[in-house]
Structure 1
Amino acid sequence: MNEFDNKPIGDTQSLTQSLTQSFTQPLSESHSHENTAINGPIFSTFLKFLIPSLVGIIAMSTAAIVDAIFIGNYVGAQALAAVNLIMPFMSLLFGIGLTLSIGGSVRAGKYIGENNNRAASAIFSKTLIVMSALAILICVTGFVWHESLFKSFGANEIVLPLMAEYFLPLLPFLVAQIITIVLYFFVRIDGHPNLAATALALGSVLNIALDYLFIVEFGWGLKGAALATGLAQLIPMLILMSYFLDKNRKLMLSFKQTKWFEVFSALYNGLSEFVSEISAGVIAFILNWLLITSVGVEGVAAITVVNYLIMVGFMMFFSVGDACQVIISQNFGAKKIKRIEHFLRLAFIITALVSVMCIVPLLVFTEVLIAVFLEQTALETMILAKQYVEIIWILFLFVGFNMVISAYLTAVHLPAQSAFVAIFRALILPGVLLLVLFLFIEDVHFLWALPLAEILSFALALGLFVNHQPKKRISQ
């Protein structure tokens, strides 16, 4: 009998002890020869990977939200809209980074589960090298053709200079952000979740402090926000690089590599993450275009506020799926069916609790939360944002389960099925429904396309999960 079986999820004492142990452990958990992902108790092992991920991801989300608060209150609603219009390009960059990082780390996790650290190190090295080179190439492209990019994203004469003011100072730091993404996923797969969380948390704290200094004290506007975000990315990268000082680490970096085709296999493994990120950019473009057409810049500013309001909840769901990928990929390599089933059960319970935690404050304190991001004079934007929330909250009932199922499919090396869920929930269904409802429904009610797409995607994801349960998958 394992810890999951004999301790209820709501046991406050066991939860407190697990949390305490999670944060009092040394950063280099892998000094022990035992791989807790494969052999540790279910409940405490899941928390060991989930809690640091939550801390790091929520800290990063909080920094982004504080960014928006400073911009909305000290620069203006149009500046918020300008930042949102840049998101398609950022989605492309981070989509590539997440694809190869998650796909490569899942592959490395399977190798570690098979006790093949040499193969795990090889995919780690190739991922870091390729992503660094691609990040440099994409950043150069963005610098040379940024004005054309802005216009293709629907920028008008009002927001075009604001987009340049934010984007150009941020560009040089994007390489550090990509390196941080790669290191974050691989450091965690080697059993160092606390180090990864510490890196993100400290970077976020610095980001908030620099936001206040550059935007409020120095009055640098969007340029200050960009510099704060960029400079703060250097800290997590440097902290994560301390991983290389650990002599007992499983992943070794080597620039002499062969069999580079494995990078394409890693890309395939992370296909759903690429689809999700790119689709988010495409849907953001469609949504921004529809809102500018029907409402104007205020509509884009309002949806930007709503995006920040739901960001923490979405990141919490992402953390649950992220923890699943780390643990399940290794147990998949070790062929431990029962452990995978227990981890999934726990993940679904936590997802349901997070849904409730997000929906209640969003509906009860809607006006208060919206007012935090905007000047009191932005009344039209506030009204629109409230109308959007009345529709968007339904997403929380389904999106978490869709994310966890997609993460599970990736962890057990079913990238095509995972990508199938991702492309339907993040691109095809919301894109088609947005355009169709926009033609036939007045005002902002065409936004019902987003929760409707998530509901239909849940039916699809559930069907795939039933057909590829752990027992069936491992026996294949």
Structure 2
Amino acid sequence: MSLSTKDAILHNPLIGTFFKQAFLSLIGLVALTTASLVDGIFIGQYVGASGLAAVSLLLPYITFLVALSLMLAIGGSVSIGTFMGKGDTKSASALFTQIIVVAVTLNIMLAVVSFVAEPFLFWLLHIPSDVVPLTREYLSVIRWVFIFQFSTMVFYYLVRADGYTKLATIALALGAVTNILLDALLVAYLEYGIKGAAYATAAAQIVQLSVLLLYFGDKNRAITFSTFNKPWRRVFRAVKNGLSEFTNEISVGVLFLVINTLLVINSGSIGVAAYSVVNYFIFLSIMLSFGIADALHLLVSYNRGASHTSRVNAFLLIALTTAFIAGLILTVCLLWFNHVFVALFIEPSQQQATKYAHTIILYVWPLFLVNGCNVLLSVFLTAIEKPLHSAVIALGRSILFPVSFLVLLFHFTPSPLANEGNDINISFLVALPAAEWVTFLLAVVLVYKHYFLKNTHM
């Protein structure tokens, strides 16, 4: 980091400094989220609710692949950054090469395993028979696309580790735009159906990778592909650094699996499709929070190191206020214009799925008010070197509280058989906002106890 940037972080006006740091991360994440939302809209409109269900039912498996890739990417980027800080570019380059080789090999192996063991995978994911054909059609293409997608994800993080944040952001944004345009062409215009969405994702990954490869055209880069002249045990050390990210993502995957399973038992694939609509907006909310969190982590770390406690407090307040306002706006939009947003994904003619989606929004809307704040408080605890407490918050909101509450409330929800002839009761989904609010209260207590109270007595 240049001295001018460091000086700005420590001394420039608070609000301008905060949003300048958050800008690049928000651009990339918003582009990625927008592409995902548009993907869902085209699938919902041109394939139908069953298409939404097919994609949503694969989310636990996709999250597992993301978890492995993030473990390699973030763990590797931390180790590479350490080598770079020491001026050991040869070790950094060797580890860069090894991480890329492991990522590509691992993704190829998993694609082959998903092809060979597809029936077992579908059983594990509780995919109902009525959406198996669409799920198989989508997975027949996307399993091979994942090789490029998740290997490129690793490459993206490693390029950022060498300071090429702008290039990485441009790659992400161009990939997202490509995905959106090809969704319109392949899914809507050419009517390739759910396979068209998979082909659009493939093309987007090729564009993203092509832009990232420009990194090697810059003579000022510190890292190159190198021969394996360094011990491979460093890869295992890097993997160890990324275990927390792996744990967090796996927790999210388990939550997806539990929600999907309970919805399949309770309301079939229609319930899964309806929930997927709301889940796209939960994803949007979380991605916005991660963009804000990127800025918060950097600003808090530097100002805390410089003993600028008042600036640390101010940046935390700005971040939380921003996340809350974003959540409030999203909540108002979903409650006030719910018919518009649901109709984007599900045609009004699919009355049952539409009705379920409206009901789910009424059950889960309170989570949008605090889920972003929970992400930020977890990141803040990491920034003040309280990783254990941060992990408690992350695991609490992603698996411990929601899974416990879901299972408990589902147990007391009338079964479909007992409720025959009446509307299916999906009120157990109030477990999701309940879990976020319990996590929020816990996070506030931990931050107060381990930061504010400590600083008060210093």
- Name the aligned partner's letter for residue 253 of structure 2: G
Confirm or deny: 8 A CA contact 2:145 2:198 kept in the other structure. no
Whole-angstrom CA distance in 2 between matches of 1:103 and 1:358? 33
How far does residue 433 in structure 1 lie from its aligned partner after superposition? 0.9
How far does residue 146 in structure 1 lie from its aligned partner after superposition? 1.9
Q: What's 2:378 paired with?
A: 406
Q: What's 1:3 paired with?
A: none
1:292-331 mapped onto 2 (5 Å cutoff): 292-325=264-297, 331=302
Given candidates 136, 149, 152, the residue that maps to 1:180 is: 152
Given candidates 439, 443, 449, the residue that maps to 1:461 is: 443
Whole-angstrom CA distance in 2 between matches of 1:36 and 1:91? 35
Given candidates 43, 47, 55, the residue that maps to 1:83 is: 55
Whole-angstrom CA distance in 2 between matches of 1:268 and 1:126? 15
**Unaligned stretches of 5+ in structure 1?**
1-29
Given candidates 260, 284, 287, the residue that maps to 2:256 is: 284
Whole-angstrom CA distance in 2 between matches of 1:360 and 1:253? 50
How far does residue 391 in structure 1 lie from its aligned partner after superposition? 1.9
Given candidates 321, 331, 335, the residue that maps to 1:359 is: 331
How far does residue 382 in structure 1 lie from its aligned partner after superposition? 0.9
- Decide whether aligned partners of structure 1 residues 237 and 132 sit closer, same or farther in structure 2, where only a CA change above 3 A counts: same
Confirm or deny: 8 A CA contact 2:75 2:240 kept in the other structure. yes
Q: What's 1:452 paired with?
A: 434
Whole-angstrom CA distance in 1 between matches of 2:307 and 2:135? 50
Q: TM-score, normalised by structure 2?
A: 0.86
Q: What's 1:24 paired with?
A: none
- 2:321 counterpart of 1:349: yes
How far does residue 94 in structure 1 lie from its aligned partner after superposition? 0.4
Confirm or deny: 8 A CA contact 2:54 2:135 kept in the other structure. yes
Confirm or deny: 8 A CA contact 1:94 1:178 kept in the other structure. yes
- Name the aligned partner's letter for residue 348 of structure 2: Q
- Name the aligned partner's letter for residue 304 of structure 1: S
1:140-151 mapped onto 2 (5 Å cutoff): 140-151=112-123
Q: What's 1:163 paired with?
A: 135
Stretch of structure 1 that moved more, 429-438 or 271-280: 271-280
| CA displacement 1:370-422 (0-9 Å, x = unmatched) | 01111221111111111111121211222112212333444566554433322
- Decide whether aligned partners of structure 1 residues 234 and 327 sit closer, same or farther in structure 2, where only a CA change above 3 A counts: farther
- Decide whether aligned partners of structure 1 residues 326 and 359 sit closer, same or farther in structure 2, where only a CA change above 3 A counts: same
Whole-angstrom CA distance in 2 between matches of 1:131 and 1:176? 10
How far does residue 122 in structure 1 lie from its aligned partner after superposition? 5.9
| CA displacement 1:190-209 (0-9 Å, x = unmatched) | 44333222111111111111
How far does residue 347 in structure 1 lie from its aligned partner after superposition? 2.5
Q: What's 1:36 paired with?
A: 5
Confirm or deny: 8 A CA contact 1:302 1:385 kept in the other structure. yes
- Decide whether aligned partners of structure 1 residues 104 and 353 sit closer, same or farther in structure 2, where only a CA change above 3 A counts: farther
Q: What's 1:9 paired with?
A: none
1:121-160 mapped onto 2 (5 Å cutoff): 124-160=96-132
Whole-angstrom CA distance in 1 between matches of 2:75 and 2:171? 21
Q: How many residues align?
A: 439
| CA displacement 1:272-321 (0-9 Å, x = unmatched) | 43223212221111111111211122111100111123322221012112
Q: What's 2:69 paired with?
A: 97
Given candidates 164, 177, 183, the residue that maps to 1:205 is: 177
Whole-angstrom CA distance in 2 between matches of 1:39 and 1:125? 34
Confirm or deny: 8 A CA contact 1:117 1:251 kept in the other structure. no
Whole-angstrom CA distance in 2 between matches of 1:48 and 1:183? 25
Stretch of structure 1 that moved more, 379-388 or 262-271: 262-271
Confirm or deny: 8 A CA contact 1:269 1:415 kept in the other structure. no
How far does residue 124 in structure 1 lie from its aligned partner after superposition? 4.3
What percent identity do the matched residue pairs reach?
Answer: 38
How far does residue 168 in structure 1 lie from its aligned partner after superposition? 1.5
Given candidates 258, 261, 268, the residue that maps to 2:230 is: 258
- 2:212 counterpart of 1:240: yes
Whole-angstrom CA distance in 1 between matches of 2:222 and 2:323? 31
Q: What's 1:13 paired with?
A: none
How far does residue 268 in structure 1 lie from its aligned partner after superposition? 4.1
Whole-angstrom CA distance in 2 between matches of 1:72 and 1:311? 17
Given candidates 71, 74, 86, the residue that maps to 2:43 is: 71
- Decide whether aligned partners of structure 1 residues 47 and 106 sit closer, same or farther in structure 2, where only a CA change above 3 A counts: farther
Confirm or deny: 8 A CA contact 2:94 2:227 kept in the other structure. no
How far does residue 123 in structure 1 lie from its aligned partner after superposition? 5.3
- Decide whether aligned partners of structure 1 residues 278 and 170 sit closer, same or farther in structure 2, where only a CA change above 3 A counts: same
**Unaligned stretches of 5+ in structure 2?**
415-424
Whole-angstrom CA distance in 1 between matches of 2:297 and 2:241? 12
How far does residue 455 in structure 1 lie from its aligned partner after superposition? 1.6
- Decide whether aligned partners of structure 1 residues 220 and 265 sit closer, same or farther in structure 2, where only a CA change above 3 A counts: same
Q: Secondary structure at the match of 2:129?
A: coil
- Name the aligned partner's letter for residue 445 of structure 1: S
Whole-angstrom CA distance in 1 between matches of 2:277 and 2:238? 35
- Name the aligned partner's letter for residue 132 of structure 1: V
Stretch of structure 1 that moved more, 454-463 or 386-395: 454-463
Q: TM-score, normalised by structure 1?
A: 0.83
How far does residue 453 in structure 1 lie from its aligned partner after superposition? 1.1
Confirm or deny: 8 A CA contact 1:154 1:289 kept in the other structure. yes
Q: What's 1:380 paired with?
A: 352
